[in-house]
Structure 1
Amino acid sequence: MEIIPGRGVDLVKIGEHRSRVEERIGLPHHGPGGERAVYNTSPMLVITYAADGTVELVEISHSGGGGDAEAEFDGVQLTYRFLDDVVSELHARGYTSIRSDIGHDFHAGFAVWSMHSLWAGDLDPTAGEDDERVISEGVSIAPYSYFRGNET
């Protein structure tokens, strides 16, 4: 699923009303009516809604399947890869970021992150138990100010 930095994905855009989103992709399978809702799409979408019912944040979870089942941007697979490789490829394409406590916040309007629920052996069968490489488990999409306020 291709992301649109600062805006969302083709299925869901920042600022859209929940009713429009659910007309298009159906009711969430977790969190109906709540601030955060999980939708049964491939890959899975987690949408955070503002108090007025509009989309505030779009998140894409890794699927673990690779390929089209993962989030991507500008030819770079963003999820279910080693986080350092993802960040390095994006930086090589000219996208800048600031490190966060769980990943990197990109000025273009997205963040790649890991909650450390996967370990290097999930991607590299030769990885030892002490391999500290982090896997990108998700991407969050919103205007950069959502992640960092007015920081530049």
Structure 2
Amino acid sequence: MEILPGEGVLLVRVGETRDAVEARLGPPAHPGIAARSVYDTEPRLVVDYDEDVVELVELGASGDGGEQATLDGVQLTFRFMDDVVAELTALGHHPERAALGYTFRAGFTIFSTGSRSAADLDPLATPDDPREIVEGVGIAPAKYWMD
């Protein structure tokens, strides 16, 4: 699923109302808390609201064989973080290290929560292999990430 930096994805855009999102996608599969809705799309879609207006769109890694988040032909999720950062940098995106990954001024972040290991992508990886896997992408206007 192609991301639109600073805007969201084709299915959900920052600034849309909850009513507009639910009219398009139906009710969330996992309503969770009032400010967050989770949809069982491929990849999984998480929508955060600020007073019923989309504030943040997140895509999770689908794992081996599933559809992944992409940007300009670069697969973002379910890949090694360093490889993704190198390819995005080559395309002119400028990463800034963040707590769980990297933020890009274009209006997105890539992150790892540490729930996957390098062995998920590299069968020769040792248990102590430190390579991070991009497990998700967050999309919001640049000011969201830089504040």
TM range (shorter): over 0.9
Which residue number in structure 1 is paired with residue 109 of structure 2? 111
2:48 aligned with 1:71, yes or no?
no
CA contact (8 A) 1:46 1:60 kept: yes
Q: Secondary structure at the match of 1:11?
A: coil
Q: Map 1:1-152; keep pairs closer than 5 Å.
A: 1-31=1-31, 34-51=34-51, 53-66=52-65, 69-149=67-147
What is the alpha-carbon distance in structure 1 between the residues aligned to residue 91 and residue 33 of structure 2?
39
CA contact (8 A) 1:28 1:38 kept: yes
CA contact (8 A) 1:45 1:61 kept: yes
Gaps of 5+ in 2: none
Gaps of 5+ in 1: none
> Structure 1 stretches (4+) deviating beyond 6 angstroms?
none
1:147 positional shift? 1.1
1:66 positional shift? 4.2
> Deviations 1:99-146 (Å, cap 9, x if unpaired)?
001000001000000000000000000101111100000000001111
**Aligned sequence identity (%):** 52
Q: Secondary structure at the match of 1:104?
A: strand
What is the alpha-carbon distance in structure 1 between the residues aligned to residue 33 and residue 125 of structure 2?
42
* Structure 2 CA distance for partners of 1:99 and 1:33, relative to 1, 3 Å: closer
What is the alpha-carbon distance in structure 2 between the residues aligned to residue 9 and residue 100 of structure 1?
22
Aligned residues: 147
| TM-score scaled by length of structure 1 | 0.93
1:16 positional shift? 0.2
| TM-score scaled by length of structure 2 | 0.96
* Structure 2 CA distance for partners of 1:125 and 1:87, relative to 1, 3 Å: same
What is the alpha-carbon distance in structure 1 between the residues aligned to residue 86 and residue 38 of structure 2?
30
